[in-house]
Amino acid sequence: MDASWYVLLALLLGFAIGAVSVHLLGVAAQRGRQVMAISSEPVPDGIAAMVHVLESAGIVLDGSNQVILSSPGAVALDLVDGRALRSPEILDAVRRVWRSGEQEVLELVYRRGRIGVGTEIHLRVRVAPLGNRFMLVLAADRTEEMRLDGVRRDFVANVSHELKTPIGAISVLSEAIEAAAADPERVRSFAQRMQLEADRLARMTKALIDLSRIQSDDPLDHAERVPIARVVEVAVDRNRVLAESKRMRVLPRVLDEVDVLGSEELITMAVQNLVANAVQYSPEATHVGIGVRAADGIVEIAVTDNGVGIAPEDLERVFERFYRVDPARSRVTGGTGIGLSIVKHVAASHGGEITLWSRPDQGSTFTLRLPIAGTTAPKEKA
């Protein structure tokens, strides 16, 4: 064949290949523009506004599972890292929902934070399609809810156990009295012990009622001006008999006479419990000091004893319901294990706090700190 034919065929082949390449490039460019248009299409304004005002965690992802919107709650829970989801479990759920088109709800334990082991939080996560192009992730932090559920379960269990002890003792003693009917001395002894258990049961029941009332009521809804000097005077008077029985002196020292806003009954109950606690756990023939001073809009009521003190490992737990550093000693003193819990709730409900300093064999100082009237206005009713 003539060489000119080869040249012609090569030209025709090159022209055909070029035409096909140009066509393919044009198709690819068109599809690229379509993809870019879809991926760059903004989230509707209503959805964006909703996500930004969510108190819980809200996240919107595009078709490639990239984060394009996230609420402050999602950032606070550390669920996003730039444009990526940090939780593999949530990302797996997102992929499943893309495939099925059906929303999914899951419960998971997530570790927030990137230093050390992080903080364990419990999340309820809902993943749902948002149209055809976006995915919505909503996450609610249930850590506090689950903690409170655990506290309630422990509370019921503790109440059942604590009430069972005096009730069982009364039952046994009543049977003993019946069996010893012919022996007046034994009957008298059993009756005295029964009276002690009945008194203990009455104190515990009253403490439980007081604690329940404090937790269900807000004293600032019907606040009154409460003179702290009068609170201290009443608290000391109510513990006078107990102190005299142990040859102890309760020495109040009110440096500043100020008022606070709240319930006089509850604040008096809190200070009375602190004084009673100090008297019960101090040796005989010692003294308990009560100091009142004000500074920077805060009044501090400090109750100091010379008692057995509290070990460092117990300092954080003494305000828990029914927690006793020495259960055997509590049975002797008649403590219910609820008094300090009441003090803590009274302090919190009045916008204050209770602090503790203690050393074994050196005594303890409990300090109730409350805002002085005039620095915090009472809460208005809705």
pLDDT digit string, tens, across residues 283-295: 999 999 999 999 9
- Structure confidence at residue 379 (pLDDT): 45
Q: What is the pLDDT of residues 263-279, one digit of tens each?
A: 998 999 999 999 998 99
pLDDT band at 193 (very low <50, low <70, confident <90, very high): confident
Where in the chain are the domains?
45-141, 221-382
pLDDT of 310 above 80:
yes
- Structure confidence at residue 162 (pLDDT): 62
pLDDT of 3 above 80:
no
Q: Residue 261: exposed, middle, or buried by beta-carbon count in 10 A (0-12, 13-18, 19+)?
A: buried
- Structure confidence at residue 328 (pLDDT): 45
282 versus 381: which is more confidently predicted?
282
- Structure confidence at residue 195 (pLDDT): 82
pLDDT > 90: percent of the chain: 34
Give the residue-averaged pLDDT of 141-151. 77
Domain 221-382 top-level CATH class: alpha beta
374 versus 140: which is more confidently predicted?
140
Alpha carbon distance 108, 95 (integer Å): 17
pLDDT band at 39 (very low <50, low <70, confident <90, very high): very low
- Enumerate residues 6+ apart whose C-beta is below 8 A from 32: none
- Structure confidence at residue 380 (pLDDT): 42
pLDDT band at 169 (very low <50, low <70, confident <90, very high): confident
- Structure confidence at residue 270 (pLDDT): 93
Mean of the per-residue pLDDT values for the chain?
80
45-141 and 221-382 in the same fold: no
Model pTM score:
0.53
- Written as six digits, the tokens of 340 are 């300090």
pLDDT band at 35 (very low <50, low <70, confident <90, very high): very low
**For 217-303, where are the alpha helices, taking DSSP H only?**
228-238, 240-245, 264-280
- The beta-carbon contacts of 139-148 under 8 Å, at least 24 apart in sequence, are 139/56, 139/57, 139/58, 139/59, 139/73, 139/74, 139/77, 139/79, 139/90, 140/56, 140/57, 141/56, 141/57, 141/77, 142/107, 146/122
Please list the residues that pair with 249 across neighbouring strands: 287
pLDDT of 312 above 90:
no
Give the residue-averaged pLDDT of 81-110. 93
SS3 148: helix
pLDDT of 329 above 60:
no
pLDDT of 207 above 70:
no
- Taking the mean position of all CA atoms in its chain, how far away is CA 2? 95
Among 112-116, 290-294, 306-310, name the one with the lowest average pLDDT: 112-116
pLDDT of 299 above 80:
yes
224 versus 149: which is more confidently predicted?
224
Q: Does domain 45-141 have CATH number 3.30.450.20?
A: yes
- Structure confidence at residue 27 (pLDDT): 57
